Structure 1
Amino acid sequence: MSPLSPSSHRSLRMLAIILLALLCASASGNAIQSRSSSYSGEYGGKGGKRFSHSGNQLDGPITAIRVRVNSRYITGLQVRYGTVWSDYVGGKQGDLEEIFLHPGESVIQVSGKYRYYVKQLIFVTDKGRYLPFGKDSGTSFNAVPLHPNTVLRFISGRSGSVIDAISLHWDFYPSHCSTC
């Protein structure tokens, strides 16, 4: 094997620098993308059938929330994204409560209580509103986005005759929304 010439060494060094620059640019782009979304949860028990509103977020930001509550648990949940309501999840027992967000208002924190099922949900908005549903008993949780200027974009979890568990998904407020 013959030794490399000085020009070959320069070419290899240049190639290594270019590859390193491309690798750094790719990692930087992925880091920027990953800094917008985050996930909180899962809060609750292990039962129920999985649900997710991930596709609903394409209809726009969260604009209203319906929660069904009985004397002990959150039994049902439905969220309006833009002008479209998600599928209802959960049971039919209890009182149905409905809250509409103001135009441009977003949920920036969700706290609550759970044991084997979700017992309480408290939505806090960027306009300072505090929207409580359910009973104040059980293990506490407090969910906030990991990244600045992000809001609640959609909900997932598990449900049967009640809301067994809930997860919160955070990202930027949609800039492409024509119904916001």
Structure 2
Amino acid sequence: MVAALAVVMPFEAAAQTYATPRTQFPLEITRADNALDQTISIVENRVYEVALLFLFGDQAERNRISALIGDGSRFPSGRMGSPGVAIPIRFRISSKTESATGHFYLEGTALTEGTSAFRSDVYVRTVVKVRLPPGIYRIQTWTVRDLPEFAGIGTHLEIGFDPRAKPYR
């Protein structure tokens, strides 16, 4: 049984009783074909963001990562001002349970660039945003090419949502 208080979390941890808008999984991006395969429980119908996180501990790491991933600037035409190193990520999101609308399935390759957000100790780069109804989902990602320039940088895949946004009814 999946705990109803958990908004998004690893399926195995569903017995925990706290809500969290974000769940993270370590993801090694320096080598091609590294894979992540996780099952999560979604209990609110809302838009979720799958994103890469780049963790830093001090200003030197922050500067190194910033130079690699670029920033969120854009020209008036929409083109990225400083896209950084492009990171292609293959992804698949599939429901393990059937909802009122049937089974859900989304697959693709995202060419991630720039920075979509940052926090005190992490830069965020969006892979995909997707609306998910309640259910159990399998999230799979694969790195597409070698990225040795990211060696030594802590990287995670995050599935989460903006807690300020209201879920769909």
For normalisation by structure 1, the TM-score amounts to 0.23
Structure with the bigger percentage of helix? 1
For normalisation by structure 2, the TM-score amounts to 0.24
Specify the structure having the higher radius of gyration (Cα).
Answer: 1
Which structure has more relative contact order (CA 8 Å, sep 6+)? It is: 2
